[in-house]
Amino acid sequence: MVRAGLTTERLVRAGAELADEVGFDQVTVSALARRFDVKVASLYSHLKNSQDLKTGIALLALEELADRAADALAGRAGKDALSAFADVYRDYAREHPGRYEAARFRLDPTAAAASAGGRHAQMTRAILRGYDLTEPDETHAVRLLGSVFHGYVSLETAGGFSHSAPDSQESWNRILDALDALLRNWPTP
């Protein structure tokens, strides 16, 4: 019989597509096998288990997101960099909801260390270099930005801001304005 040409790489990539189509939590080894028209057990030569597949998708998503962010940041600073960076997250979540969910998947410490998580933190710090913050305020600000971006995107994706005025896009713009103002004027107690 003709072989399907499975590899871990291809499986993870297809898993990511599947996630975008049906949701990350609906990604299943069985569904993936169906997609390749192959028996379920065959996938276990390439994947340790179901968790392994999900971890793979999460790592892929974090990588892609970091790549896009790095691109967006090139040649920008200040508010410009802040907006571009934030938009990368929001756009990615809208284009690839399943992958975005995956990026929020709780990784075990080993996987987390090997992930692009560090790049994300570094880039956030790079943006803050356009503002006059010193430690520990810079770290507080990193955490604030992470919270706002993740929080907004996840509420928006969950449908929180649809069906009500004003438009979500407008809130997003004004929130970025507000964050810029805040960072330029970070309060000292």
Partner DNA sequence: GTGTTTTCCTAAAGTCTTTAGGCAAGTGCG
Partner DNA sequence: CGCACTTGCCTAAAGACTTTAGGAAAACAC
Residues forming the site for a copy of itself (CB under 8 A): 25, 104, 106, 136-137, 139-140, 143-144, 146-152, 154-155, 158-161, 164-166, 170-171, 174-175, 177-178, 180-182, 185-187, 189
Distance, in Å, from the CA atom of 188 to the CA atom of 105, rounded to the nearest integer, reads 35
Among residues 3, 110, 134, 185, the one that binds DNA under rule CB under 7 A: 3
22 binds, among a copy of itself, DNA, none (CB under 5 to 8 A by kind): none
- Closer residue to a copy of itself (CB): 75 or 136: 136
Backbone angles phi, psi at 4, to 5 degrees: -85, -20
Q: How many residues does the chain have?
A: 189
Q: Where are the alpha helices (DSSP H) in 41-107?
A: 50-73, 78-95, 97-103
How distant, in Å, are the alpha carbons of 24, 60, 90, 116, 120 from that of 63? 17, 5, 16, 5, 9
- Closer residue to DNA (CB): 54 or 90: 54
- Segment contacting DNA by CB under 7 A, of 14-22, 27-35, 87-95, 137-145: 27-35
